[in-house]
């Protein structure tokens, strides 16, 4: 804990250990490592991680199978939504779940508690990690001398997630291939566009809609089927 010299001439009022804060602790905060404003702001950030992760995970789901912009083509005429590697990094191994887990494990070790077992995939684990950290944040701010570094890491991680999510509230649109809907026994073929911020797609020509993530997958499957049919027709034409 903080040292409190008996010689008042040498006494230095304790300050918050969070890098970038340096605020003098109140008398009521005597013995704490991190100030209450840092605790409050960190608690708010932690509580927002589950919702942020769900948004990132939905975006990543739309990107699966996408190729890098400028990469080699595979002959497909259906361009995927360009991947954002920072999104995939946050939802995958070593991402949000792993970084929250590392902080939780350090706290558990300091408390002498058993390291928590594996908690499923990242989507399942993030809310559990967030709940643990919120529930034990007061202890950390009061009794864990390395809490300042964890507060900085949580602030940084929250900033990375928020920057992507907030940016996608005003997304541009990209072409995602032709509409595969049947209109009077013929494929519509209208160019479709979509945003990485939403899985909702509507064809402006025939009015076909894909409203849910499941329907988005159905759309992509239908587009692949159409491309396969076209390829077969082309091969038959060459053979003839």
What residue segments make up the domains of the chain, in order of their start?
A: 35-167, 174-239
Q: What is the pLDDT of residues 196-234, one digit of tens each?
A: 666 678 898 888 999 887 888 888 888 888 888 888 877
Span of 23-32, 129-138, 161-170, 186-195 with lowest mean pLDDT: 161-170
pLDDT interval class at 83 (50, 70, 90): low
Closest CA to 33 of 112, 148, 110: 148
| Distance in angstroms between the alpha carbons of the first and the last residue of the chain | 85
d(CA 34, CA 52): 25
Span of 46-55, 125-134, 160-169 with lowest mean pLDDT: 160-169
Q: What is the pLDDT of residue 106?
A: 96
Torsion sign (Cα): 24, 26, 30, 35: negative
The string of DSSP codes covering the chain is -----S-GGG----B--STTT-PBPPGGGTT-SS-HHHHHHHHHHHHHHHHHHHHHHHHHHHHTT---TT----S-SSPPPPP-HHHHHHHSTTSHHHHHHHHHHHHHHHHTPPPPPP-SSHHHHHHHHHHHHHHHHHHHHHH-TTHHHHHHHHHHHHHHHHHHHHHTTS---EEEEE---EETTEE--PEEEEBTTB--EE-TTT--EE-SHHHHHHHHHHHHHHHHHHHHHHHHHHH-
pLDDT, greater one: 2 or 73: 2
Q: What is the pLDDT of residue 165?
A: 83
pLDDT higher than 90, residue 146: yes
pLDDT interval class at 109 (50, 70, 90): very high
Tell me the percentage of the chain whose pLDDT exceeds 90: 39
Closest CA to 151 of 45, 15, 27, 6: 45
Q: What is the pLDDT of residue 70?
A: 38
Span of 92-106, 123-137, 155-169 with lowest mean pLDDT: 155-169
pLDDT (average), residues 67-77: 40
Q: Mean pLDDT across the chain, nearest whole number?
A: 81
Q: Are 102 and 95 in contact (CB under 8 A)?
A: no
Closest CA to 220 of 175, 173, 176: 176
């Amino acid at each position: 804990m903080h040292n409190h010299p008996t010689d008042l001439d040498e006494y230095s009022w304790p300050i918050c250990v969070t890098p970038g804060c340096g605020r003098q602790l109140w008398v009521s905060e005597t013995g704490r490592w991190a100030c209450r404003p840092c605790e409050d702001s960190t608690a708010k950030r932690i509580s927002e991680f589950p919702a942020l992760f769900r948004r990132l995970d939905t975006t990543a789901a739309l990107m699966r199978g996408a190729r890098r912009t400028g990469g080699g083509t595979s002959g497909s005429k259906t361009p995927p939504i360009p991947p954002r590697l920072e999104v995939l990094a946050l939802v995958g191994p070593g991402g949000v779940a792993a970084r929250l887990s590392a902080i939780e494990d350090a706290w558990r070790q300091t408390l002498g508690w058993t390291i928590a077992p594996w908690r499923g995939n990242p989507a399942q684990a993030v809310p559990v990690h967030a709940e643990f950290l919120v529930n034990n944040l007061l202890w950390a701010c009061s009794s864990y001398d390395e809490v300042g570094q964890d507060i900085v890491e949580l602030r940084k991680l929250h900033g990375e997630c928020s920057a992507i999510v907030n940016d996608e509230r005003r997304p541009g649109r990209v072409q995602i291939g032709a509409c595969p809907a049947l209109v009077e026994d013929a494929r519509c073929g209208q160019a479709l566009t979509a945003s990485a911020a939403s899985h909702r797609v509507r064809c402006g020509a025939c009015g076909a809609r894909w409203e849910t993530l499941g329907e988005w997958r159905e759309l992509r499957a239908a587009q692949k089927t159409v491309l396969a049919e076209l390829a077969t027709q082309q091969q038959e034409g060459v053979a003839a």
